[in-house]
Amino acid sequence: MSNANTNTSKKTDEVAIQLNGVHKWYGQFHVLKDINLNVQRGERIVICGPSGSGKSTLIRCINRLEEHQQGDIIVDNIELTGNLKHIDAIRREVGMCFQHFNLFPHLTVLENCTLAPIWVRKMPKKEAEEIAMEYLERVKIPDQALKYPGQLSGGQQQRVAIARSLCMNPRIMLFDEPTSALDPEMIAEVLDTMIELAETGMTMLCVTHEMGFARKVADRVIFMDGGEIIEENEPEEFFNNPQSDRTQKFLSQIL
Ligand code: ADP
Ligand code: MG
């Protein structure tokens, strides 16, 4: 993978995600501290930082897998409050891929991909299957459609998880360390899928330590530590000229 940023930014002036002064606590533990973040539609953001810095919590707050206690989170012009209609509306717009693929082991690849479109979107089965096959082709595993997740490699399972999210036609995709549970030889195939997705103009927020990916597709890299955004910059500046001591230390450990 070349390090050159493909510079095919599809960033627009429209705001996709907005966090204003967001705080979150787990009991007494202050896990997110005054997070301010604007993501434009079409923008690709990479979030990195040491383990325990709050990266997963931050992205899980964006689709309300976790609840924040202070500040505003606005996704696609919908404010995330306790209002269940708003939560549903946001979840319709936001797809998510995790480190552990969370596929249903007792369903085939195709069934994993059609389950939510059929049951949540009330889509006819045939149409759901056609769409699922299109996405399985996009992630280059249409031939695995009738297998079960356990019969696939980790890299293939993660690509199914990505296809499954895309079947719900999200406008925003969140990734939480999607390659960190994979063997090295499988990382590239998942990153390639994510790069292709970025090229379609999808708004993406990716927690990852794959700095080659960050250099190639990110419009911005955000560094978190201790529940705070410490630094953010375009990839070249971020890697070549990190400002804070903490960023420098982190980069020296992973690069
Ligand atoms: P990261 O993804 O950057 O590794 P996390 O967001 O998972 O960080 O976690 C940030 C901090 O919050 C860690 O110290 C973690 O132990 C703590 N934490 C995460 N989830 C919970 C939870 N459900 N209850 C209590 N503490 C949690
Ligand atoms: Mg995490």
Find tokens 């999210």 and name the residue: 165
| pLDDT confidence of residue 3 | 52
DSSP state of 149: G
| pLDDT confidence of residue 8 | 67
How many whole angstroms from 245 Cα to the centroid of ligand 2?
A: 22
Taking CA atoms only, the protein residue closest to ligand 1 atom 14 is 52
| pLDDT confidence of residue 173 | 97
How many whole angstroms from 29 Cα to the centroid of ligand 1?
A: 9
d(CA 50, CA 197): 26
CA angle 186/170/207 to nearest 5° reads 45
Taking CA atoms only, the protein residue closest to ligand 1 atom 22 is 26
Averaged pLDDT, groups of 10, the chain, 255 residues long: 60 90 97 97 97 97 94 93 86 92 96 96 96 96 97 96 96 96 93 95 96 96 98 96 96 88
Find tokens 């019969």 and name the residue: 151
Model confidence, pTM: 0.94
| pLDDT confidence of residue 133 | 98
| Closest ligand 1 atom to 60 CA | 6
From 193, 184, 195, 224, select the one nearest 207 (Cα to Cα).
Answer: 224
